[in-house]
Amino acid sequence: MTFSLAELMVCAASRSFENEGEVLATGIGLLPRLAASLAMRTFNPDMMMTDSQSFMLSTPNPVSGMASHSGQANENWMGFARIFDNVWSGARHALVGPSQIDRFGQTNIAALGGSYEAPKVQLLGVRGFPGNSISHANSFFVPKHSTRVFVTGECDVVCSIGYNPDRLPRGYTFDDIDIRRVITDLCVMDFNGPDKQMRVVSLHPGVSLAEVLENTGFEVAVAPNVAETPAPSAEQLALIAELDPLNLRSKQLKDNPPGVRNPNEE
């Protein structure tokens, strides 16, 4: 059975929501949203998701091909102000795609380079990252694993709190911060290395550990018996196709690479 790298990443990312129970899952971007939707349709039917607009849904909307919001499976109104009530309760897990991630798991979506007063590239702004990161679980989705994302120093703008002893607020420990997983186009990582160091957990089919280390701007731990990221099942692929009928997932990664890379192609 063939599958794309995007589909492999969606399945790997969906595992982030395993054992979550009744937690609001928010995937920002098409592939992260697909991952959360897949989790809700498979191993975590108790999960909670919104329509990305203003209603909680009892079953996720497709990420493509929807002509309108009418007829969707509304459960309760969930406007943006109310989202924050949920965020601050801690009962949420966000899967987001930062532009930079540093060795502490701090992230950046605000601006790159230059000075803070006049950045070289203005991005979005800190958005909800500061509040998300100190309130609830977060996982990261990285479409292109590189040293541009996994930066050697600290992020240019630290938008989310990470496992950085120098920035730890008074009265807080690392146990108050909950960064779960990092899913990239090369591997899956967590923060269960020594002192919450980022750690390689599984490598995607055909990817070497050396390739991961080369493309990461800082030292990472390596789990004992690093596994191969599991291939999507037929059931998962069918559900993904149902949730994304227009196959927009094929347009998210450059050239839509296959899920199993041939090491001889390098």
Partner 1 sequence: MNKCVSAADAVSVIESGMTIGIGGWGPRRKPMALVRELLRSDVSDLTVVAYGGADVGLLCAAGKVRKVVYAFVSLDFMPLEPGFRKARETGSVDVREIDEGMMLLGLRAAAWGSPYIPTRIGLGTDVITRNPDLQLVDSPYDDKEWVAMPALNLDVSLLHATRGDVRGVCEIAGPDHYMDDWFARAAKKTVVSVDELVPSDYFHNADVARRVYWERNLTSHIVHISGGAHPSSSDPLYGYDMKHYKEYAAALAEGGYDRWSEAYLGDSEPSYQSNVGGLEAIQTLPLPVY
- Residues lying near partner 1 in the complex (CB under 8 A) are found at 51-55, 66-69, 79-81, 84, 87-88, 106, 110-111, 114-131, 133-135, 157-162, 164, 167-172, 177
Query: What gap in Å lies between CA 187 and CA 109, rounded to an integer?
Result: 22
Q: Are 215 and 151 in contact (CB under 8 A)?
A: no
Nearer to partner 1, 171 or 224 (CB): 171
Nearer to partner 1, 161 or 201 (CB): 161
Nearer to partner 1, 69 or 261 (CB): 69
From residue 182, how far is each of 11, 15, 140, 149, 179 by CA, in Å? Answer: 13, 11, 5, 12, 9
Nearer to partner 1, 124 or 241 (CB): 124
Nearer to partner 1, 80 or 250 (CB): 80
How far is the first Cα of the chain from the last one, in angstroms, to the nearest whole number? 23
Q: Name residues whose C-beta falls within 8 Å of residue 117's C-beta, 6 or more positions apart in sequence.
A: none
At residue 152, φ and ψ (nearest 5 deg) are -70, -45
> Smallest distance from the beta carbon of 89 to partner 1, in angstroms?
12
> Smallest distance from the beta carbon of 144 to partner 1, in angstroms?
16
Q: Which of 188, 212, 191 has the alpha carbon at shortest distance from 104? A: 191
Nearer to partner 1, 86 or 229 (CB): 86
> Smallest distance from the beta carbon of 46 to partner 1, in angstroms?
23
> Smallest distance from the beta carbon of 244 to partner 1, in angstroms?
14
Q: What is the sign, positive or negative, of the torsion defined by CA atoms of 141, 145, 151, 157?
A: negative
- Give the three-class secondary structure for 140: strand
Q: Are strands 221-228 and 199-203 parallel, antiparallel or unpaired?
A: parallel
> Smallest distance from the beta carbon of 265 to partner 1, in angstroms?
32
> Smallest distance from the beta carbon of 147 to partner 1, in angstroms?
21
